[in-house]
Amino acid sequence: MPAAAARREPFALAALVLGAVAIGSSAIWVRLAETGPVATAFWRVLLAVPVLWVWAWSERDGTQPSATRANRKGLIAAGIFFAGDLAFWHISIILTSVAAATLLANLAPIFVTLAGWLWLKERVTSGFVSGLGIALLGVSLLLSADFGSSARALWGDLFGLVTALFYAAYQLQIKQLRAHLSTARIMAATSLVTALAVLPVSLLLGEDVIPATASGWGVVIGLALVSQVGGQSLIAYGLAHLPASLGSVSLLIQPVCATLFAWLLLGEAIGALQIAGGCIALIGIRMAQRASAAG
């Protein structure tokens, strides 16, 4: 490793961890919001757009190619996928526990590999299959408390799984775009598309779209700046300067932080069985991700 890269690595790891903590706080902002869950997603990305475009503009040095027609289509697709991710996840956060909603959303890397296997004919290793089995066991333990409890919680769990599907599609699309466009430009453009996509959905659902109080505005502004701009930007910086093997740190930290925040700030208790299930699921996700990277 070059000396300059070695010097940057501690800062990059700190950025990755802080970014994961920031995104882990997302569920708390959503729970505290005065607006509906999809409307909260709208404000989350819309208020982040000006900051992201300033970031993208500051990176312009005259060498970046203009977006091609294919890239523009890719940005629109990524924005729509992210809209589905945020809409279903925010609804899931309202219907089920923060721990369940966040952990289920973090199954996305598994769906990414499965998509590569089904459509791109990529090889799936035995290590991935083992990790998948362990992750599913952990998820079943985590969600065991919801079975027989209420239809509301089960719908929330289902929406959490749908979130992971949308986020997997978003990740696959972003992977293609990063070969041609900067992270800042991708985030700025897709956030704008996402805002335009989720607003009609919120209106059709009859949600409260405008925060009623100053504290309500503070919540959506905090979600946009802390989670969307701060969290995503820090993780993007960390991933750009760290070995791929360390990239999964954010994946493991986010659900843990979300659960701790929900316990401390919302009084959302989680039993020993659910804690064990969450830990097992994270181990399985990590195993599957490592096997995918190695394969």
Among 98-107, 175-184, 193-202, 246-255, where is mean pLDDT lowest? 246-255
pLDDT tens digits for range 205-247: 999 999 999 999 999 999 999 999 998 888 877 777 766 555 5
pLDDT tens digits for range 243-270: 655 555 566 788 888 888 988 899 887 7
pTM for this predicted structure: 0.84
Percent of residues, the chain, with pLDDT higher than 90? 35
pLDDT tens digits for range 57-104: 887 655 555 557 778 899 999 999 999 999 999 999 999 989 889 888
Nearest C-alpha neighbor of 245 from the set 195, 188, 286: 286
Higher pLDDT, 267 or 203: 203
Average confidence (pLDDT) over 281-295: 73
Task: Judge whether residue 149 has pLDDT over 70.
Answer: no
Task: Judge whether residue 146 has pLDDT over 70.
Answer: no
